[in-house]
Structure 1
Amino acid sequence: MAEGRQRIDKWLFFARVVKSRTLAAKLAQSGRVRVNGEKATQSSDPVRIGDTLTITLDRRILVYRVLLPGLRRGPAEEARLLYEDLSPQPTAAKAPPDALPPVREIGSGRPTKRERRQIDRLRDQS
């Protein structure tokens, strides 16, 4: 490891972003990792101290600033020392406060087929 550089697949594995180094290599090669705004095209692309990584996973986006190169895949507490988390907080999708939930009489059971058709027509009009 020269001058604080490390392969991106190794760093992702050591930082516990993915479960295996093979998955880390596939993540980098698929273009789902950006180093300082530039797409990583190879798993051997270097990561340096101070680089900002934007990692696109299935259901979230992670933004990390590299603080240290990894030496091993240790416990989670050790992995958290390798980066500073700059990820945006997920926003909870809420219904507008003036929207009222649909009201059904208590004990009326599931809607009938006729009622479901009426509900579908009502939704299609909006």
Structure 2
Amino acid sequence: MNVSFEAGARLRIDKWLWCARFFKTRSLAAEAVERGKVQVNGQGCKNSREVKPGDTIVLEAHQQRWELVVKGIVGARGSATIAQALYAETEASQARRREEAELRRLNVEPASRLQGRPTKRDRRQIDDVRG
């Protein structure tokens, strides 16, 4: 796999996000860019926007927000180890994502536990409450 760390290398933002494994498909990456979930160097962008090493990307996806610095460009999607070499996440972004993950872990929404039909045990508890 040919990874380029040169300043002259360029790649479309949707393809770079897909190659860096932030999205499973290129169309999902393109949709995120179209919805304004991606900024390059502090500005909104279109799918045709080319990124190069040194660019700063702010990405909101999967209920998380990443601040990334592009380190490399690759011609095709490769392994996860190659994908991790394409970017560096800022320290502030890492700290914020850790805090948000901890908050999500501690504050489970009650509605998320009450999905589907009640179990036999749940039904007995409901009957006991009703009398």
Instruction: Give the structure-1-normalised TM-score.
Output: 0.68
Aligned pairs for 1:39-58 (under 5 A) are: 39-40=44-45, 42-58=46-62
Q: Distance in 2 between matches of 1:67 and 1:58?
A: 22
Q: Distance in 1 between matches of 2:22 and 2:55?
A: 16
Gaps of 5+ in 1: 96-109, 114-126
Using the aligned pairs only, state the percent identity.
34
Q: Distance in 1 between matches of 2:80 and 2:33?
A: 21
Relative contact order, CA 8 A, sep 6+: which one is greater? 2
Q: Larger % of helix: which? A: 2
Instruction: Give the structure-2-normalised TM-score.
Output: 0.66
Instruction: From the CA coordinates, give the structure whose radius of gyration is larger.
Output: 1
Return the letter of the residue paired with 2:29: A
Runs of 4+ aligned structure 1 residues displaced above 6 Å come to: none
Q: Distance in 1 between matches of 2:8 and 2:56?
A: 17
Aligned mate of 2:9, from 1, 4, 7: 4
Gaps of 5+ in 2: 1-6, 108-124
